[in-house]
Amino acid sequence: MWDEYARNPSAALQWQQQYSHFMFELEDASADGSIDNDEFTTVCSSYGIDPQECKVAFSKMAKGKASVSWDEFQELWKEYFSTEDPNAPGNFIFGRTSF
């Protein structure tokens, strides 16, 4: 299921698209259409990840910008599942900086 998505992230199944959208809406607590560092850190640290690690992960994911839009998040999401590069920004969407 995820292997097929990793090979062709443009052909996501409906539930995979819904999961991506759910995660974005969960992290976009202000509902302003973008995720900022505080929103990201609040959600990811609730999973037991150190808040400082979450902040570093956000900075890497957002490429130094103050926020991540829905369009950007979709690309990061695809990258998380399809890249071979451990330093790709998409690999930080769940708040971890080490694997």
* All structural domains of the chain with their residue ranges: 1-7+35-99
- pLDDT at 92 exceeding the cut of 70: yes
Residues 6+ apart with CB under 8 A from 33: 69, 70
In this structure, are residues 60 and 92 in contact, taking their beta carbons and an 8 Å threshold? yes
b/e for 25-61, b at 16 or more Cβ within 10 A?
eebbeeeeebbbbebbbebbbeeebeeebbbbbbbbb
d(C-alpha 40, C-alpha 29), whole Å: 9
Supply 61's token pair. 């994911």
Comparing C-alpha atoms, which of 98, 57, 61 is closest to residue 79? 61
**pTM attached to this predicted model:** 0.86
d(C-alpha 42, C-alpha 27), whole Å: 8
CATH architecture of 1-7+35-99: Orthogonal Bundle (1.10)
Confidence bin at 11 (pLDDT 50/70/90) = confident
pLDDT digit string, tens, across residues 18-42: 999 999 999 999 999 999 999 999 9
